[in-house]
Structure 1
Amino acid sequence: MVVKEMLGASSETDVDWVDARGMRAWRSLLQAHAHVTRVLEAELEAAHHLPLASYDVLVQLAEAPGRELRMSELAHAVLLSRSGLTRLVDRMEREGLVARRACPSDARGTLATLTPAGFDRLRDASGTHLKGVGRHVLSRFSRSEQELLAELLGRLDPQCAPSRDVRESA
């Protein structure tokens, strides 16, 4: 049954409806993301016993000024809820990959900091991850298609859109 029929909409003006082509694009995006995420996660787990979410936290911290971020900023960057991030950082702290400290500019805030052990773990795992991204994603597209893909997907989140410098240097 068509979604529109299921919801009982009476006309196109009731709601902005997605046609079959749009639904195919949407489902393809979701399925591709789920597939690639599962494959990359399995590779990181097998080679480094490191979940993809932990790898993402390590990357975000490594790229941050001073290799630290407020927990709220980190939660936003890795797309986890604050409570989900707290549980993940708890585990990573027990493993010695990150440390927490009070935010000097805000007594209510907490900073997550990348430890030397966390940086080493990231360095060890990054080859596996980047090769996987190349093999499972980038190899499926030409350089110009990669550029187009980045531009198209960047429209969904303007913060993710490639910068002019990146496009011009490719």
Structure 2
Amino acid sequence: MTESLDDERMACWRAYIEASQRLFTQIEDDLRAASELSFADYHVLVLLSEAPGQRLRMGELAGRLVFSPSRLTYQISSMQKRGLVAREACPADRRGSEAVLTAAGLLALREAAPHHLRSARTHLMDDLDDAEIACLNRVFDRLGRRLRADRDASSTLSE
């Protein structure tokens, strides 16, 4: 049997779960009210806007979003219908496809970004001091690296 958490760690875990869910819900609600974009839409647009040629292979995009291939296909199809992205064959490898940011998608991102930034600042960032920011960066960078490594190792074992 797995050893239970001590009271302080249990309190930390519960506070994290509840606060992160509230934060995500609030930021998504603010984003939808200001732009009619979901958080997933916004994240796709950000990643594509930062990518070379404003395009990413579907597999890479799924990995960056932590989406299953089917979830990404659904997400991109929904965004395609709204003209925010296009899906094109990979120039280097015709077997794969890429998500490509459209002019309408870039405009939607540019219009939503100030509202999203204001929401992130209001609900999280402006409440943290420099030491807390540094601590959270260390914790989540380390956690992200470990979880990516664990996922990569488990996918290698299943091949």
Q: TM-score surpassing 0.5?
A: yes
Instruction: For residue 21 of structure 1, report the CA deviation from its aligned partner.
Output: 2.0
Question: TM (normalized to structure 1)?
Answer: 0.80
Kindly indicate whether residue 35 of structure 2 is the aligned counterpart of residue 44 of structure 1: no
Instruction: For residue 159 of structure 1, report the CA deviation from its aligned partner.
Output: 8.4
Question: Greater RCO between the two (CA within 8 Å, min separation 6)?
Answer: 2
Q: Which structure has the bigger radius of gyration?
A: 1
Q: Distance in 2 between matches of 1:19 and 1:159?
A: 23
Which one is further off, 74-83 or 52-61? 74-83
CA gap of 1:16–1:106, structure 2 versus 1, over 3 A, is: farther
Instruction: For residue 129 of structure 1, report the CA deviation from its aligned partner.
Output: 0.5
**Of residues 82, 101, 106 in structure 2, which corresponds to 1:114?**
101
Q: Distance in 1 between matches of 2:9 and 2:96?
A: 42
Once the two structures are superposed, the pairs formed by residues 6-85 of structure 1 within 5 Å of their partners are 9=1, 15=2, 17-85=4-72
Q: Distance in 2 between matches of 1:159 and 1:57?
A: 23
Deviation sequence 1:35-76 (CA, Å, 0-9, x none): 111001101111111111100100011111111111111111
Instruction: For residue 31 of structure 1, report the CA deviation from its aligned partner.
Output: 1.6
Question: TM (normalized to structure 2)?
Answer: 0.85
Q: How many residues were matched structurally?
A: 147
Which one is further off, 50-59 or 150-159? 150-159
Give % identity.
39
Which one is further off, 60-69 or 146-155? 146-155
Computed over aligned residues only, the root mean square deviation of the Cα atoms, in angstroms, reads 1.7
AA aligned opposite 1:95: R
Point out where structure 1 has 5 or more consecutive residues left out of the alignment: 1-8, 10-14, 161-170
Once the two structures are superposed, the pairs formed by residues 76-115 of structure 1 within 5 Å of their partners are 76-115=63-102
Structure with the higher helix share, 1 or 2: 2
Instruction: For residue 130 of structure 1, report the CA deviation from its aligned partner.
Output: 0.7
AA aligned opposite 1:44: L
Once the two structures are superposed, the pairs formed by residues 154-169 of structure 1 within 5 Å of their partners are 154-158=141-145
